[in-house]
Structure formats: structure tokens, C-alpha cells
Amino acid sequence: MPDVAPASDSGATRVALVVGATGLVGRELVRQLLDDENYDVVRTFVRRSVGPRHPKLDERVVDFSDVAGFAPLLEGEVLFSALGTTIAAVGTKPAQFAVDHDLNLTLAEAAAGRGVPAYVLVSAAGAWAKSPFFYPRMKGLLERAVERLPFESIRILRPGLLDGRQSPGGSRSEARAGEEWALRLLGWLPAWPSPGSLRPVSVTVVARAMRVVAADWSPGAQVVAPHQIFLLGEE
């Protein structure tokens, strides 16, 4: 993959924008971006300050119900979205849809409107806009909507079950006994194309794959399948 595309002005500050920075993937992504020489500033958008403290970190506490109010801050080389929630956290499917689909789309629209050229989205394995099941349908509808936005480059990653056990501070805040069981059961699977969508993937690998695809500014939208995430996210 080529190095990250240069900023439009010679010597301009290279800014990575991150939404979903407090989640399992987002925390790991921010940690990696702060050590990434391709970016001068890592600007995160959060509901409340969480840190970490770092000279490159530009943490912005914002009101996500008023994206238009902070839209001028959505300027940079690439918008990374690891934004998402669960029904367990918000209570209902409509509430989850409002975050995973509506808020994600609103943020992407605002960034595209500010001229951000590249967009990297964490979706999910099996995403399909016509799925009979709520979660993959929601993710598929979001994918279909953002693919229509005027970004120069769009990369959509579809990881399987996320494994944050090996990343610094990587355990989820809410208890998920079922996920822990699945991680143990499916962790032995290889990362080949078919079972690769079932094998749990480390958030470290997903974050690294996000950075790799962000460096490829070939035009258009591309979907990154589960087995490809394993390949791209290797050291």
C-alpha cells in the first residue's frame, strides 16, 4: 500500500478524524494513530473527556445531537468511524439504529460536505441492506448510504466477532458472557475466506487494517472482507 496521501497544501497539517473513539476498536485505533507518523493531529469527537493525554491528540467534547454545531471541526485527510452501540446499552432497536445508522450517516455527510477526501468505516460481517435480520440490515443500509457520499475514497471494513482481550484496556465495559463463550469457541478457526467471517478478530488487527486502507487513496468505494482484514492487519 502507498503512504498516506499528502495534504492538499504543501506543509499543511495532516489530520485524522475519529468518531467512536471510546469504543473497543476506536480506543485501539486512536492509540495506533498517535504513533502513526502519517498524521500530525488525531482529532477525536467524544461525549465526555476520556484522554489519553498526548501532544498529537485533539480531543473535542461535542453534542452529537447537534452535528451541525461542530461540523467545521470535521476537516482533515480521513474520517475514521468506529462508532456503534448495542441494544443492551441503549435498550431498543430504534435507539441502536439512531446511533449505528443515523448518527454515523450524519457525521459522514458533514465530513464529506467539509471536503474530507477519505472515509474508513467499521461495519460488520454479513452486512446486507436486504437482510431479514435487524443488525446486518442496519449495517447494510448504512454502507449503501455512505457509498453515495462524495468522498474520493471510501473503505468499508466488515470484521467478524471482535476480540479486545489482547489490546491495552481492551475489555468491554459491559459484561457479555455470550461473547466470551463465542470467542473461546471460535478462536481456533483459521482466517481463510469462509470461516474467516466467523473467527474472532483482534481489535488491534482491525485498527491496523483501518490505517492500511486509509493510506490507499485509489478512488471509489471498496468493501474489505473479514479474511482480508486479517491479512491487512498483520504486523
In a domain, 7, yes or no: no
Environment class of 226 (CB within 10 Å of its CB; exposed 0-12, middle 13-18, buried 19+): buried
Give domain status of residue 224, yes or no.
yes
Q: For residue 10, tell me if it sits in a domain.
A: no
Q: For the chain, what is the domain count?
A: 1
Q: DSSP of 88-151, one letter per residue?
A: HHHSSHHHHHIIIIIIHHHHHHHHHHTT--EEEEE--TT--TT-SSHHHHHHHHHHHHHTTS--
Which three cell numbers, joined as nine digits, stand for 221?
468505494
Domain containing 187 equals 15-232
Rounded to whole angstroms, the Cα distance separating 45 from 131 reads 31
Distance of alpha carbon 44 from alpha carbon 57, whole angstroms: 8
CA–CA distance, 15 with 34 (Å, rounded to integer): 11
Q: How does pLDDT run along the chain (235 residues), one tens digit per residue?
A: 444 444 444 468 899 999 999 999 999 999 999 999 999 999 999 999 987 789 999 999 999 999 999 999 999 999 999 999 999 999 999 999 999 999 999 999 999 999 999 999 999 999 999 999 999 999 999 999 999 999 999 999 999 988 866 555 554 444 344 444 443 444 444 544 445 456 789 999 999 999 999 999 899 999 999 999 999 998 6
Determine the 3-state secondary structure of 163 from DSSP: strand
| DSSP character at residue 168 | T
Is 135 part of a structural domain of the chain? yes
| Within-domain flag for 145 | yes
The CA distance from 47 to 72, in Å, is 17
Instruction: Evaluate whether residue 6 is within a structural domain.
Output: no
Phi and psi based region of residue 115 (left: phi greater than 0; alpha: psi -120 to 50; beta: remaining)? left
Does 20 reside within a domain? yes
Domain for residue 1, yes or no?
no
Q: What CATH number does residue 111 fall under? A: 3.40.50.720
